[in-house]
Amino acid sequence: MPSPARQGLKRPALDPATVPARHGSAYPEPFRALAAGRSKQPLGDAVGLKAFGVNLVRLPPGAWSSVRHWHTREDEFVYVLEGELALVTNGGEQTLGPGMAAGFPAGAPDGHHLINRGDKVAVYLEVGDRPAGDEVDYPDVDMRARQGAAPYTFLHKDGTPY
């Protein structure tokens, strides 16, 4: 039962528990399974944000946030709320815990993702802008993405579609 402070909230306020979660990813096979355990609640969409998105993300033990990637035009930022996450970048791996953050500037070819190597669910906020014409490179696998209607179209590195 929601606390009295959460009952009757009106926009622009919201209780994140009321925002339906999206599970898994839109990646093509065989990459879909890598982020299968992930769930995202699109908080920014729920309050009508257009210029940037904010997702409340839950990663169970063993789950990946995404395939390691970087964006040509989108800035990304994560802030850990609960649990521990391994941040994997070109420079290696480091652990992020509650209150820690990381940022990924657009156009910097430093592939990144988070992995929950712990034994409990990790929770973090994910923030990114929504620039037109963004492309995504996945340095470890034969995949790239181009912003499109879905919102991304997944391609092999040679440009053929999945």
Sequence-ordered list of residues with C-beta below 8 angstroms from that of 92, at least 6 positions apart, any chain: none
Has residue 118 been placed in a domain? yes
Straight-line distance from the first to the last Cα atom of the chain, in angstroms, rounded to the nearest whole number = 44
160 assigned to some structural domain: no
Burial class (CB in 10 A: 0-12, 13-18, 19+), 152: middle
Q: Is residue 6 part of a domain?
A: no
Does 5 map to a domain? no
Ordered per-residue pLDDT tens for the chain, 162 residues: 555 566 778 889 999 999 999 999 999 999 999 999 999 999 999 999 999 999 999 999 999 999 999 999 999 999 999 999 999 999 999 999 999 999 999 999 999 999 999 999 999 999 999 999 999 999 999 999 999 767 799 999 999 999
Residue 42 structural domain:
22-155
Q: List CB contacts of 13: < 8 A, sequence separation 6 or more.
A: none
Surface-to-core class of residue 49, CB atoms within 10 Å of its CB (0-12 exposed, 13-18 middle, 19+ buried): middle
- How far CA 58 is from CA of 93, 119, 146, 148, in Å, comes to 20, 13, 25, 26
Q: Is residue 10 part of a domain?
A: no
CATH of the domain at 148: 2.60.120.10
Q: Residue 3's pLDDT is what?
A: 55
Measure the CA–CA gap between 31 and 143, rounded to whole angstroms. Answer: 9
Instruction: Establish if 94 belongs to a structural domain.
Output: yes
How many structural domains comprise the chain?
1
Query: Residue 13 domain-assigned?
Result: no
Work out the angle at residue 60's Cα, subtended by the Cα atoms of residues 45 and 112, and round it to the nearest 5 degrees: 70
Q: How far apart are CA 60 and CA 70, in angstroms?
A: 23
Per the domain annotation, does 150 fall within a domain?
yes
